[in-house]
Amino acid sequence: MRIPRIYTEQHLLANSTVQLEAGPSAHIAKALRMRVGDAVILFNGEGGEYRSSISALEKRHVELQIQDYDRREPESPLVLELGIAISRGDRMDWVIQKATELGVASITPLMTERTEVKLKGERAEKKHSHWQQVIISACEQCGRNRLPSLHHLVDVNDWLPRVDAQRKFVLHHRDDAANKQEQQPKSAAILVGPEGGLSDREIAVAVDTGFEALTLGPRVLRTETAPLAAVAILQSRWGDMPLEY
């Protein structure tokens, strides 16, 4: 049986005890139906993980005995930043979840000229909290011990000048220029537009700030498919997902 991985915001120390927050406690007690003595792996996003076991268990109160520390780090050597226009329905959740599994280091939700979803104030904060939980759950599932940074919603024109990755790409299915640079970067950024795509002006501004136009073949990919395809390609070429036969 696979040992459950649980995220906590608390400071962790080998050979100590910790009482989990209400949410993870309820998940262990109700959803997983675990018992005293069962093994759990804890991580707090600071790197590494802690082998633990349940020492006390109630519906909303779970206490763990931390045994030892494992410095395992499955992070990619390629630091990937994803800037993506927010989309309708659960598409954004899907992208954030899968980008986390694929090793993206940071995610920035963007507003663009053609973005149809409007988020402001309290609604934007609630969405940010929801997406943060999506990241946590994805890290628990995929084995990452460091959470990708989730930045607050920002206009694409404000985000572009802030990106300082060594290689920067804007997904642009209408571009036919082949990218022939062979520089091996340590960091990269990907800009993806909304359902209707980025406007010509936004693409031009991106190129003016150092972004390279990037196409993903002859087919037009959906906004939730394109970023994941691009991340997988870059991770295969420069990260920790090499194509092996």
Instruction: Note the pLDDT tens digit of each residue in 40-83.
Output: 999 999 999 999 999 999 878 899 999 999 999 999 999 999 99
pLDDT given at position 40: 97
The ranges assigned to domains in the chain are: 5-70, 79-238
- C-alpha 39/C-alpha 49 separation (Å) is 13
- So what's the pLDDT on residue 199? 94
CATH architecture for the domain at 5-70: Beta Barrel (2.40)
d(C-alpha 25, C-alpha 29), whole Å: 6
Looking at residue 76, its pLDDT comes to: 96
| Domains 5-70 and 79-238 are alike in CATH topology | no
pTM of the model: 0.92
CATH architecture assigned to 79-238: 3-Layer(aba) Sandwich (3.40)
Residue range 96-131, pLDDT digits in tens: 999 999 999 999 999 999 998 888 889 999 999 999
